[in-house]
Each structure stands twice: as structure tokens, then as C-alpha cells.
């Protein structure tokens, strides 16, 4: 089945460049120059991934990302932010809103394609039996479901994979580098705080059970029963 990528950017040259390289990589590509065009299309066709510019003529890209991640229909769609906003605070804000990756302009089209592939790849979690962390958290990789305190928790693909990794070996400390390797493999090209941002979001979503995700200062993270 062909993978469909939606690209939203108000610069025609950027749209053409991104579309050209994605098509060369055998992706189907839909291009939009404003948020309304993308939102209208989502009612009929759901892409497998969205590449989102933050500086749009009719909307704030960050607010658009927030809206998509707060809508149960579109929350599972991975989002890569592609923007000229390169400050660390902008990147952290994007990740906190649920973006799966953040690419700054000017950019390498080949790197962008590699990141698209990496995000799509890590969206799938290895099939296996459900995992339980004490009586607080259950993780079902086949259904992509997590429950904390008996209540369903909606996680992004990156958050799910981090939790699944930590739960696969209760008590083991995973370094930030090991977690990044698990998410991106050899194609990782992210800022230092990426893992910390995902962990913060994960803890918040798990509620009281979030205290089981422990920081080991100067090393990384572990999950305790």
C-alpha cells in the first residue's frame, strides 16, 4: 500500500522541492498552501504523515498542531514540523505539542526524507504480548493501547515506544542515547532535550502512574514497578 504524505507550506518553491524528493522516494504527496486546504482534505483523505510549516498565512502552525493532536480523529497522524524557527525554545514547544520531529530551514531534502522514513518506522511497535507494570500500567502493543489506573491513555507513537522500551525491562536504566537509538536508529538527528520532552509528556499523561518513570541523574530513565 502506498504511503501518503501531506505537505503544508505557503512557499511554492518549498512545496515543489519537498514534493519532488518525496515522490522520488515513492511516497504519494498532497500539497497545501494554507491550513484550510489541509483541514478540508482530512475530512475525506487521511495521510500517513503531515509535514507542517509553522508560519502560515491563515493560521499559526503550532496552534494547528495542537488542534490536530487534541482531535481523536487525527491524533495518531505523525507530524514533522518544517520551519525557519530554529530556536531551541521553538523546537521544545513543538515537541511538547505532540510533534514527532522538528526540521529547520534551510534543510537537506534527503535528510527530510530520511526523517519521514524514521518517523513512519517508529510509528510501528514490535508485535508481542501485553506488558503490565505492577497494577498501575498495562501496555498492549498489538492494539497500540495503554491504560494507567484502569483508564485509557492516548500517547503519540514516540511516547508509546519509549514506554514500551522501559517496560520491556523493569528496573533497567536506559540512557538517553539508547532511547534515541530505539526511536531513530542510525537516522537520529535531534536536539538534546528531545527525550526529556517526551518523558515529561509521558509522565503527565500517565497521571499518578507517571511517578514510576524515574530519572537517574546524569544517565537516563527507568521504569519501576
> What tens digit of pLDDT does each residue of 66-124 get?
899 888 788 888 999 998 887 778 888 888 888 888 898 889 999 999 989 888 876 64
Q: Where are the beta strands (DSSP E) in 106-181?
A: 131-133, 137-140, 145-148, 151-153, 174-175
**Segment among 37-46, 120-129, 162-171, 214-223 with least mean pLDDT:** 120-129
Q: Would the pTM count as exceeding 0.85?
A: no
Domain boundaries, the chain: 4-122, 131-223
Could you tell me the pLDDT band of residue 193, with boundaries at 50, 70 and 90? Answer: confident
pLDDT at 143 over 80: no
Task: Tell me what pLDDT residue 125 has.
Answer: 45
Task: Tell me what pLDDT residue 191 has.
Answer: 57
Q: Structurally, what CATH architecture does the domain formed by 4-122 represent? A: 3-Layer(aba) Sandwich (3.40)
Answer yes or no: are the C-beta atoms of 82 and 18 closer than 8 Å: yes
| Average pLDDT score, the chain | 86
**Residue 214's beta-bridge partner residues?**
222
Distance (Å, rounded) from C-alpha 81 to C-alpha 49? 11
Cβ atoms within 10 Å, residue 24: 11
Closest CA to 99 of 47, 62, 72, 146: 62
Distances from the Cα of 111 to the Cαs of 4, 13, 16, 93, 161, in angstroms?
Answer: 18, 18, 16, 22, 22
Distance (Å, rounded) from C-alpha 62 to C-alpha 111? 22
Sign of CA dihedral 6, 8, 14, 15: positive
pLDDT > 70: percent of the chain? 92
* Residue range 45-71, pLDDT digits in tens: 889 999 999 888 888 989 999 899 888
Task: Tell me what pLDDT residue 126 has.
Answer: 47
Among the four given CATH numbers 2.40.70.10, 1.10.10.10, 3.60.20.10, 3.10.310.10, the one describing domain 131-223: 1.10.10.10
**Is 181 or 201 the better-scoring residue by pLDDT?**
201
Amino acid at each position: 500500500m502506498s504511503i501518503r504524505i501531506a505537505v503544508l507550506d505557503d512557499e511554492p518553491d518549498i512545496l515543489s522541492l519537498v514534493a519532488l524528493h518525496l515522490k522520488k522516494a515513492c511516497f504519494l504527496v498532497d500539497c497545501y498552501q494554507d491550513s484550510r486546504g489541509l483541514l478540508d482534505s482530512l475530512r475525506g483523505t487521511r495521510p500517513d504523515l503531515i509535514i507542517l510549516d509553522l508560519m502560515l498565512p491563515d493560521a499559526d502552525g503550532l496552534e494547528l498542531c495542537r488542534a490536530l493532536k487534541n482531535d481523536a480523529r487525527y491524533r495518531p497522524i505523525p507530524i514533522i514540523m518544517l520551519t525557519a524557527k530554529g530556536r531551541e525554545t521553538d523546537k521544545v514547544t513543538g515537541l511538547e505539542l505532540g510533534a514527532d520531529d522538528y526540521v529547520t530551514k534551510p534543510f537537506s531534502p534527503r535528510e527530510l526524507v530520511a526523517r519521514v522514513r524514521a518517523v513512519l518506522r517508529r510509528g510501528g511497535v514490535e508485535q508481542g504480548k501485553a506488558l503490565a507494570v505492577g497494577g498501575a500500567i498495562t501496555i498492549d502493543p498489538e492494539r497500540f493501547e495503554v491504560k494507567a489506573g484502569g483508564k485509557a491513555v492516548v500517547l503519540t507513537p514516540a511516547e508509546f515506544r519509549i514506554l514500551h522500551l522501559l517496560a520491556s525491562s523493569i528496573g533497567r536504566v536506559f540512557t538517553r542515547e539508547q532511547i534515541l537509538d530505539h526511536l531513530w536508529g542510525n537516522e537520529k538527528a535531534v536536539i538534546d532535550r528531545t527525550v526529556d520532552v517526551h518523558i515529561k509528556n509521558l509522565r503527565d499523561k500517565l497521571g499518578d502512574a507517571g511517578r514510576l518513570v524515574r530519572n537517574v541523574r546524569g544517565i537516563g530513565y527507568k521504569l519501576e514497578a
